[in-house]
Each structure stands twice: as C-alpha cells, then as structure tokens.
Structure 1
Amino acid sequence: MSKSSPYLDSAPLAPGDTVRLIAPSGPTDEESLQRAIAQLESWGLRVVPGENIRARHPRVKYLAGTDAERRADLVDAWCDPDTDAVIALRGGFGAMRLLDGIDFDLMRRHMLRRDGRPKLLTGSSDITALHQAWEHHLGVATLFCPMVGNDPFKNSTVVPDEVASWLFHPWGGRELGFPAEASTEGTAAAEQTAATRPLSRAQTLVPGSARGRLGGGNLSLIAAGMGSPELIDVRERREHRGPSILMLEDVDEELYRLDNLMVQLVRGGWFTSADAVVLGSWEDCAPVHEVEALMIDYLGGLGIPIVSEMGFGHDPDAPSAPLGVDVTLKAEPGERPRLWVDHAGGQA
C-alpha cells in the first residue's frame, strides 16, 4: 500500500492559509477570475493569483498564455515557501504541454509547506495531466475536484460546499460520490445543502471488493499521456506500488472516440495495475448505458469489480475525489456500491 497522506487525519487547509490561483490550461474572463477569488476568500483563504493568470497566447486562442508563462506560474506557485495549496482556476487544454519543461527535482525540494506537510494541488479535467505528474514525480496526494473558475461554482447549489468540505476537513473514512440519501443531521446550512444534493445513481456492473490507491481521472488526458515519462511504467506499477483502483470520466466524446481511447489504454497496459475500475460521469457523451456496455466489452473479462455512475468529472454537481490515497470499494450484488477513503494506518 502507498504511504499514508497526512490529510487522512488532518485538514489540508485552514482559514488564513495561502493558496496560489493559476491558469495552467485555458484562458478565463475577468468576471470568472474575480468570482473565483471571492469564493476562495469567502473561505478565509489568502489568495495570490499567478502573475500570468490573465495572459493570452499570442496565436493559440485556447491557451491562457504561452507555455513558458503558464509553466512559470505553476512552478512559482508550488515553490513559494508561503504556499499551502495550488489551485487550478479552470481546465480546457494545455496542462500537458508544461510537463517536459518542469524541473521536478526543484519541485520536490519545495513540496512541503512550512508545517512540514505536502502542499496540495487541486483541479480536474485537463489538470489530470498534472495529477499524473505529481503522483509519478512527487508521490503526493492531490484533489480531483471542480474548479473555482468554472460553471459548477456559479450554478451548482452543492459544489462549493462539497469542495470546501475536502479542503477544510480530514479525508480518512470519508465516502466518495453522491450520498445514498439526504442527511437529516448537522447545521441548517449543511441540511439545506444535503436536501438539494443529487442522490447516488451508482450501480455495480461487475461485483466484488477491492482496496488500493485511487488513481486516474479524465480518459482523454490519460490516453494522451500513454508512453510519457509519467505513464511509462504502467505495466509494472502493481508490482512496486501495490494495488490500485482506477477512476475514469470524460466529456464531449462520441462513443467511437471513447472506444478508440479505451483501445489505447488497454493496449498500453494501463489497466494492468487495476484491482477495480470506478466510472464517473460521461457528460455530453453517448448515453450512459452505451458507455457502460463499451467498458464491459473492454474490462469485463479482467475479473475485477467495475462500478458506474459515481459522478466524478463533468457532472454539473460533480463530487470530489482525492487521488494518491488508499480507498476501499465494496460492490456487492444487488447493493449500492460504496467507495471510501481508508483511515491512516490502512484501516478501512
């Protein structure tokens, strides 16, 4: 099993901590930027925007500044001794373009905050490329979650509180995904949030139980990274890292495209280390039952548990998921599958 993260029994952040807000992928507008800053400040955090967060690439309209500008903001944010967390403003495209120019020895020397715990990286979608790199080069847990510059933070009644709960509370023992039923306990604000939060649609495609390190993210980004330094060892990972539970989700992909991406992962050996596969959301892709059938076609013969509709990814109310920590999956026949973070010391 992987080394336990300190965030299993201590909250990653507290009011007064410093977070660096960066745009490593696509550009944003001023309204979204100011809304993001206001959201983070409402949690009591000190927000330091990246120097190039408003930049635009001179030729490529889908990039927030040049590779050098975006990389500089990422490295400066991570290496700042006052940084407690690095928060991606939004996704889009471009994070993978930054990796080859990063000095990860430098990043490793600056990976601890002043209290000795590792700094936290947050984001999802295109930020999957950074999650993969942080796992491979730095060996730290990260948070796959909706991003403060995107629509869920503006439109969802549950995303801001759900993300905040992962930032300001310990992770150990916490169940992932949407709840099975609305909570009837807690503060009035918590009860109001629970009352409007979507309930679990999770279902078991292949039953079973598993424990392992949670990994994965956006299917397109993982496929694009096959053969890279971060994923070159996928066939040997289980041997030297232990078991893993792999998560997949995507957005705006036709079924034939998902098929092609799965071919790439299967042929590249990405599932060799998998002790279970957890499927998130497939927003604006093919109907869910068609995606599930495709996944069973590729993965059903592996002899491992497979569960669907856990919500991670691009669902408008998407829940968060900590990557690089040990989790337990129980997917018994006829029961709602459950996935939760193990406690420190490996206790389920």
Structure 2
Amino acid sequence: MLMKPSKLKIGDKVGVIAPASPPKSEPLKKGIRFLEDLGLKVKVGNSVHKKYGYLAGNDTERIEDIHKMFSDSDVKAIFCACGGFGTGRIVSRLDFELIRQNPKIFWGYSDITFLHTAIHQQTGLVTFHGPMLSSDIGLEDVHEASKESFQQLFHTENFDYTYDKTKLETVSEGVATGHVIGGNLTLLVSTLGTPFEVNTKGKIFFIEDIDEEPYQVDRMLNQLKMAHKFKDASGIIIGDFKNCEPKKRERSLTLDEVLTEHIASTGKPALKGFNIGHSSPNIAIPVGSIGTMNTFEHSFIIESGISEGENE
C-alpha cells in the first residue's frame, strides 16, 4: 500500500543523519542553517560526527540513528547529510515495521539509493531522491534550483520537471505511466540478488551516476538488462552522469553510445538529459509516486510525494 508522508510546516522538527559516510563539518553546518532558514528545527543524529574508517560510525550506531529518528514522533522529516558508502551494510538490519508504523519524509540520494529502494518496497512509503545537506546544499556555490526542490515538502502540488527542458532528448519514443523508482546506477546494481532487489515491473525507472567510465556504465547497464530491469519497466528516465568520461582507455565508446545501445534497444519510452543526481542543480523527485513521461512533449510529471495531513 502506497503511503505518503505528511507535508512540513514552519516550526516542525526534522532530523539529520549520516547512514553512510561521515559528512564534512563546515558544509554540514551550512546545510543545517539552510533547514533552519526554512523555519525548521533541527535534531542531529548521534553518529553524524563519528568516524569509523569510511563510515559515519559503525553499523549499529548508524542503524540506531535511523530507528530513533523514525520512532521520534516530534521528528517530521529525516534528511541525509551525505552519501559515500555504507547503506548496503545496514539495510538488512532495519526495522521496516517501525518505519511502516511511523511514516515520514526521508530525503537523500547517491548511496542512499539502497535505502530508498528497500524502504519503498518493504513499506510502500514514498521517499525523496534529492540534494543532501553537506555534499550539495553546503557547497560554496549551490544552485538555487537545488534549494527550491525542498519546497516540494511544504506543498502538495504535483511535481512537473521544467528545469531546462531544452536539454531533454528522446532516446526511444513513447508515453509511459507508473510508480517512479530508481536512483544511483551502481547502488541499483548492488541490490540484484538480494532480498531488496529493485523491482521495475510496470514502473518508470530512473538512473544516474558519477565518476564511472563508459565501460563501467556499460557493464552495469548490461547487468540490469540481463536481469530484465529495463524490459520490465514502463519507461526510462536518464539523469545526470557526472564525469562519466573515458580516462584509462585510449579507445572507448562514448557514454551516449553506451546508454543508447542498452536503452534504445528495449523499445521502452526513454528520455535523457535530466538534472537528477550528481548535478548542479540537483532536482529532487519523489520515489514511489505515480509519474507520467511523454517523449513527444518532453514532459515528466509526478504526483505529489506528500499528503496534506494524515498519511495516505
């Protein structure tokens, strides 16, 4: 059953956690000030400032932060400070019944993709793939459109992707409707063969990534293709693939050639050029809400990811 979290109001308390790698201190402070400037009160998780190698505290500490934020009735939304690595280590130990009983806004991207996929598939909760506090909002030069994405949480209007639509290109023509699912390509591939394997059946499937060479993107797309994830999808949205250029190899296919070969061959409606992912701006979208894409109109519209009050 689909659940939409309640919208935010001025004065609400929100939580900040680091379920993967530790955030940089100064950018995080700036990101927290941004939330406060939106009129929100901020509660910071216990593991946010901890360091355990490349993780923000050990697995138990990061899990406890997630559980505490979801169980705290005063906390109306949970924002991830940054991505990095680590959510795949903790997802099998999450209390999904606790999350189901306490639905609220959950926001992040990149490594957080594993949590988006698992939480939505296990509970039906709509979550938000959007810019993070330390690695996006806390940067020196943050795009206003990235900041504006947070307004989705205060209003229940449908999301209509309008940012620089001139960049959008058709990979394969058609119209598709379905629940929107996806995220970081590397993390989506890492779900395969696990109890949290991404389910694309009848869904609009979106992908993005960063710092992967075309041959690496090729390998991951091929794995998803062999697992029928593109065949099962109703449509495909291609987000930003930042710095995904040839580096090691003298000869290489281009990123566009790789994407076209794997995705156009599916015959499913597909659009590319979206500022979704490791881009500036980073446009947030609700994961799990029903969307409609139309390649003839270069449009992508998604139902609001939040409810007016009581969870739907």
Alpha-carbon displacement from aligned partner over 1:95-116 (angstroms, at most 9, x marks no partner): 111111112223323x2xxxxx
Aligned length: 298
The answer to whether structure 1 residue 93 and structure 2 residue 85 are counterparts is yes
1:152 Cα deviation (Å)?
Answer: 4.6
Corresponding residue of 2:309: none
Q: Which residue is 1:262 aligned to?
A: 221
Which 5+ residue runs of structure 1 have no aligned equivalent? 112-117, 181-199
1:299-338 counterparts in 2 under 5 A? 299-332=263-296, 337-338=298-299
Q: CA deviation at 1:160?
A: 4.6
Assess if the C-alpha contact under 8 Å between 2:150 and 2:284 holds in 1: no
* 1:150 maps to 2:135: yes
Which one is further off, 31-40 or 317-326?
A: 31-40
Q: Contact (CA 8 Å) 1:244, 1:275: kept in 2 or not?
A: yes
Which structure 2 segments of 5+ residues have no match? 247-252, 306-312
Residue 278, structure 1, aligned to residue 242, structure 2: no
Q: In structure 2, what is the equivalent of residue 339 of structure 1?
A: 300
Q: Report if aligned partners of 2:289, 2:304 keep a CA contact under 8 Å in 1.
A: no
Equivalent position of 2:176 in the other structure: 210
Q: Point out the more displaced range, 38-47 or 295-304.
A: 295-304
Write the mapping of 1:8-23 to structure 2, written as runs, cut at 5 A: 12-23=7-18
Q: 2:32 & 2:83 partners in 1: Cα distance? A: 16
**In structure 1, C-alpha distance between the alignment counterparts of 2:220 and 2:89, rounded to whole Å:** 19
For normalisation by structure 2, the TM-score amounts to: 0.89
Cα pair 1:152 1:316 within 8 Å, conserved: no
Do the aligned residues in 2 keep the contact of 1:176 with 1:320 (CA within 8 Å)?
no
Q: Following the alignment from structure 1 to structure 2, what is the Cα–Cα distance between the partners of residues 128 and 296?
A: 23
Q: Which residue of 1 aligns with 2:41?
A: 46
- Residue 271 of structure 1, CA deviation: 2.2
Pick from 136, 155, 163: which aligns with 1:169?
155
Q: Which amino acid aligns with 1:178?
A: Y
Structure 2 Cα separation of the partners of residues 171 and 125 of structure 1:
25
Task: Name the CA distance, whole Å, in 2 between partners of 1:79 and 1:318.
Answer: 29
Shift of 1:136: 1.1
Alpha-carbon offset, residue 317 of structure 1: 1.1
The CA deviation string for residues 164-199 of structure 1, in whole angstroms up to 9 with x for no partner, is: 221222242x3125144xxxxxxxxxxxxxxxxxxx
What's 2:310 paired with? Answer: none
Query: Counterpart of 1:338 in structure 2: which amino acid?
Result: S
Deviations 1:200-228 (A, max 9, x none): 41111111111111100000000011111
Contact kept, 8 Å, 1:177 with 1:311, in 2: the verdict is no
Aligned pairs (5 A) from 1:47-86: 47-57=42-52, 60=53, 62-86=54-78
Question: Distance in 2 between the 1:66 and 1:343 partners?
Answer: 35
Alignment partners' CA distance in 2, 1:176 and 1:105: 33
Query: What secondary structure, in the 3-state scheme, does the structure 1 residue paired with 2:16 have?
Result: strand
Cα shift at 1:146: 0.6
Q: Which amino acid in 1 is paired with 2:55?
A: L
Pair 281,136 (structure 1): closer, same or farther in 2 beyond 3 Å: same
- Opposite residue 224 of structure 1, the aligned amino acid is S
Question: How well do the aligned residues superpose, as a CA RMSD in angstroms?
Answer: 2.1
- In 2, Cα distance between the equivalents of 1:152 and 1:43? 13
- Aligned residue among 21, 26, 29 for 1:31: 26
Amino acid at match of 2:26: E
| Structure 1 runs (4+) greater than 3 angstroms displaced | none
Distance in 1, matches of 2:204 and 2:233, equals: 6
Give the secondary-structure state (helix, strand or coil) at the position aligned to 2:134. Answer: coil
Q: How far apart in 1 are the matches of 2:145 and 2:46?
A: 27
How far the C-alpha of 1:161 sits from its partner, in A, is 3.0
Q: After alignment, is 120-129 or 157-166 more displaced?
A: 157-166
- Distance, in Å, in 1 between the alignment partners of 2:153 and 2:68 is 22
